[in-house]
Structure 1
Amino acid sequence: MFIFTKPTSADEAKVGLLMTELHRKREFAAQLREEATGPWAEDYLALAEFEDAKADVIEAQLNGRLLETVGGTAA
């Protein structure tokens, strides 16, 4: 879990929120994989893949914001 300090800009606050959401989605996907047993295993694994895909999108957004912050360019 991330601990927030007072951000100095709205962009830093957005980065903090994205990092938190990324962490939560990855944890949820891992939890789904652990619980993927029995008749619902296939559904749990599919949902875990979906959560990972959403986390990948957030990670791409986050990487773009971090590159902008340090003066780079997002590819």
Structure 2
Amino acid sequence: MCCLRRPHPLVEKPRVLIQLSFMTEGGSAVDLAVLSDLSRRLGIAAPERHARHHAMKWGKGTLRWERHTEFSTYLW
């Protein structure tokens, strides 16, 4: 089953990483709405409707979102 896991991002040094985790009452629907709005403002493709992870270039970095069973993580 190892092939089904999402790969960890490769990070060039030196870098500062920020990772936040959120529990939202609306579940992934809230995350997808926020990510879709941000994607539209940046002029890039929004995540698929049932996506569990998404990555987008934002500024000098990449914003990565991942939906877990009970929470979401954002890594930038």
Give the structure-1-normalised TM-score: 0.27
Greater percentage in strand = 2
Give the structure-2-normalised TM-score: 0.27
Which protein is bigger by CA-based radius of gyration?
1
